[in-house]
Amino acid sequence: MTAPEDAKRIAELREQIRRHDFRYYVLDDPEVSDARYDALMAELRALEEAHPGLVTPDSPTQRVGGAPSGAFGEVVHAVPMLSLDNAFTEQDVVDFDRRVRERLDVESVEYSAEPKIDGLAISLRYERGKLVQAATRGDGTKGEDVTANVRAIRSVPLTLRGTDVPPLLEVRGEVYMTRRSFEQLNRRAGERGEKTFVNPRNAAAGSLRQLDPKVTASRALDLFCYGVGATGHWPVPRRHSEVLAALREFGLRTCPAIEVVAGVRGALDYYGRIGRRRDALGYDIDGVVYKVDRLDWQRDLGFVARAPRWAVAHKFPAQEETTVVRDVEFQVGRTGALTPVARLEPVFVGGVTVSNVTLHNMDELARKDVRIGDTVVVRRAGDVIPEVVRVIPDLRPKDARVVKLPKQCPVCGSHVTRDEGEAVARCSGGLVCSAQRREALRHFASRRAMDIEGLGDKLVEQLVDAGRVETPADLYSLTADELAGLERMGPKSAANLVEALERSKQTTLPRFLFALGIRDVGESTALALATHFGRLEALESATLDEVQQVRDVGPVVAAHVRDFFDEPRNRKVIAELRHRGVSWPDVAPTRASGEGPLSGETLVITGTLASLTRDEARDAARAAGATVTDSVSKKTTLLVVGADAGSKLRKAQELGITIIDEDEFRRRIGAGDR
């Protein structure tokens, strides 16, 4: 053949092989024999070897190529990969469905139900239909670049099918290994005298993170896609189930067991049917996932922290094993809480080896009567969290030791206190305890507190371990030169962090109070304290009774607030922070009576505001006396509408609710026009 004829044949072969891959891996309906497929691939390789200039990255022959990588790069997800809240009982699912319906103010909801694959979450980025990047979930915001390895997975198309593929599409899925492939992998490893894997999930994770893609290619990984992240200008379908159907049209593999079910009864029925089929599926699952099928309802429901309100993972019952308690040690948390942790004789349960189990607090430890030397039943609740279920008294040795609360903190040696009637014991060391110091600094720098971008966990640990930062005030004396000398920091990163520290000095009183880490003072309580007293000095000097007058602040929280400001070392840190430039505007006080320009209003915000983030707008509305909710209902009295408003606007119009724009909202809260 001539060169043009070869180029035409190469294009034909690639299209045929892609079609056969789609039918084999996605439809599970091959139309040619393995021998015929191998012949097509061999012909393509021969033609590409004869014409290397015609080889393209998305050719089926290029799934595995190049030298092994020395490390994995970091990828920032365009849309975060969120975790799911768990449901362990039918009542948990009933409660989830009730919350969904109440927030949406509807009678029934359809859910997309799917097996929860026990694998490794992955994000695939396609640009103009070509696979350009693959990344692990990581911490949900940043993951590892494993593009070369994912290209070796035959069920992952290098090029999407069809002529109407989006210019940009991030696909979310789960990489897994079938039980058959896992058994074959371990058998080969055993024959070679190599280490075997403990379960298919670990085998999949280890295979995906091989530095040599050729090793990954030999491990027979698979992928099920379950959703999308960034979608560019793609007209996303109205329902999650329709998104999955579109992914299948693009040549992506989705789990064939996915169904749309009606309401909580349909969800629980699906859970039962999948549970009975669990052993026959050929791959490991640890539960099922329910997702609200309508995407506009998903948007209305939104998120809590790092989990969506519109989805839940219904976990299968835990697996149990017995083992021996070798010791009990105490860990110290951010607020000084001492948590007893049982050190166990390692035991394989629920697919992993468990050697440490939290006992939560002294009351829980006493209730279960766990002693050092006891034989205990260990369970992985929901196949995730290890716990001690019970002690086996008949196996208790004569020398079993009762666990006693230590008198001194195991980290700093400070006195340990335990309030009467409380289960939790605490270190009294405050800021002198290095265990609390790390957590206090992480909390202080977090996004909802002082929002110091670039001050991550690793950097906090370095600064604390080096003795450079003992209190939050020390952060503001850091220089770019000394930061540049730290591990994983360079001149540019150091300069950016110094700039972030400088920006964080201008904050708000609610954020500052939340950042201090006062026990039991979350964002809502910090906002209530700020809007009640208006000025930090007024709160610092308030009596216990005066603090209790704050809306939603009871005697326990009031005592914690008062104890915090009664501690001279805490006042000293606050003074140092202000001395180093941390400041905020005073807040117009709104007393417990709820006085304010929006007093009595039940308010919802929808769409995108130009001058305020959603959180800032909610804080401002609460400060003005309004009750802020997430969904429109008959109780809603006011809807604030920004750009691209959706179903909440339509519902408010149907209910005759007062609707105002951003400028009117700013006028009502006293913020003026933009």
Helices 555-566 + 568-579 axis angle, to 10: 70
Give the list of residues 6+ apart from residue 245 with CB closer than 8 angstroms, or none: 237
Task: Give the CA diameter of the chain.
Answer: 94
Which H/E stretch holds residue 389? strand 385-391
CA 514, CA 494: separation in Å to the nearest integer?
A: 26
Q: How many CB atoms lie within 10 A of CB 47?
A: 18
Total residues found in the chain within this entry: 674
Burial class (CB in 10 A: 0-12, 13-18, 19+), 294: buried
Which one of the listed residues 116, 291, 315, 648 is annotated catalytic? 116
Dump the DSSP string for 382-417.
Answer: TTTEEEEEEE-GGG--TT-EE----SB-TTT-PBEE
In a 3-state reduction of DSSP, which class is residue 479? Answer: coil
Q: How far is CA 547 from CA 483, 553, 587, in A?
A: 40, 7, 16
Is 116 marked active-site? yes
**What's the one-letter identity of residue 63?**
R
Q: Which residues pair with 125 in a beta bridge?
A: 133, 170
CA distances from 381 to 89, 213, 321, 357 (A): 11, 35, 12, 12
Q: Are 292 and 109 in contact (CB under 8 A)?
A: yes
Residue 292 pairs with which residues in a beta bridge? 111
- Among 171, 167, 170, smallest CA distance to 129 is for 167
> For residue 379, what is the enclosing H or E element?
strand 375-381
In 3D space, the residue among 554, 551, 655, 545 whose CA is nearest the CA of residue 594 turns out to be 551
Residue whose entry in the numeric block shows the structure tokens 């793609």: 234
Residues 526 and 516: their CA atoms lie apart, in Å, by 10
Bridge partners of 111? 261, 292
Q: How many angstroms separate the Cα of 328 from the Cα of each of 200, 352, 373?
A: 32, 21, 10
Q: What are phi and psi of 522, to 5 degrees?
A: -90, -165
Q: Shortest CA distance to 181 belongs to which of 157, 160, 155?
A: 155
CA distances from 117 to 177, 315, 361 (A): 10, 11, 33
C-alpha distance from residue 63 to each of 66, 137, 158, 193 (Å) = 10, 22, 8, 29
Instruction: Assign 628 to helix, strand or coil.
Output: strand
- How far apart (Å, rounded) are the C-alpha atoms in residues 202 and 351? 9
Give the bridge partners for 121, in sequence order: 174
User: Under DSSP, is residue 128 helix (H, G, I), strand (E, B) or coil?
Assistant: coil
Whole-angstrom distance, CA of residue 584 vs CA of residue 506: 6
C-alpha to C-alpha distance for 169 and 165, rounded to whole angstroms = 8
d(CA 337, CA 335) in angstroms, rounded, equals 6
Catalytic residue IDs = 116
